[in-house]
Amino acid sequence: DQQVKQNSPSLSVQEGRISILNCDYTNSMFDYFLWYKKYPAEGPTFLISISSIKDKNEDGRFTVFLNKSAKHLSLHIVPSQPGDSAVYFCAARSGGSNYKLTFGKGTLLTVNP
Amino acid sequence: NAGVTQTPKFQVLKTGQSMTLQCAQDMNHNSMYWYRQDPGMGLRLIYYSASEGTTDKGEVPNGYNVSRLNKREFSLRLESAAPSQTSVYFCASTLMGTGTYGYTFGSGTRLTVV
């Protein structure tokens, strides 16, 4: 049973346009959500996060939106750049003390020049 | 600023062989994790250690064992490798209790079992 779902395996956008990556979750106990970026042959790197008590968090070109009622979050990248081409993982943390993250399957973003 | 260091980076094993994947972090983190990444499957938690002296199973622990050797090191052992364990393995760490929830990942170990 997949608790964190990224239903789009891939996304292709033009440089300068907006990239929107989506993530759905099923576990109401998740209290923190994170996005990770992964280049080939490297480990994932933390990008941006949001607490379940907020609905938006912004960091430069990256904004994460959380809709708790829909159990949906999205990552917006504006403007998209070719260097943003990577696999993006959505992750969620269960409330509690063990800090375990559950990851989605990832979305491959390709930004075309 | 080494962060999380994993060794080896690549390994080929024959079915039935054993090996240990090493992970060390120099950030004074208290929690450490082992994930595997398979095509189309995302990152799945194998084992984790919330603090030195404790280890717990994750989502896919079968066929693996772990040792939290000290605060810095967390190793993953395959006692009898199987082709289904062909994967990329990532070690991660975090500092629990600080209000930040991001993991720092190593660069991965690519394991092939033939």
Could you report the per-residue pLDDT of A12-53, keeping only the tens digit for each? 999 999 999 999 999 888 989 999 999 998 999 999 999 999
CB pair distance less than 8 Å for A45 and B107: no
Q: Give the dihedral of Cα atoms A75, A81, A82, A84; nearest 10 deg.
A: -30
Q: Which string of DSSP letters, residue by residue, matches A49-82?
A: EEETT-SEEEETTEEEEEETTTTEEEEEESS--G
Report the percentage of chain B scoring pLDDT > 70: 95
* Dist. CA B63–CA B65, nearest whole Å: 7
CB pair distance less than 8 Å for B90 and A43: yes
Chain A positions in Cβ-Cβ contact with residue B50 (cut-off 8 Å): 97-99
In whole numbers, what is the pLDDT of chain B averaged over residues?
93
CB pairs under 8 A between A and B: 60
Chain A positions in Cβ-Cβ contact with residue B33 (cut-off 8 Å): 100-101
Chain B positions in Cβ-Cβ contact with residue A6 (cut-off 8 Å): 42
Whether residue A72 has pLDDT greater than 80 = yes
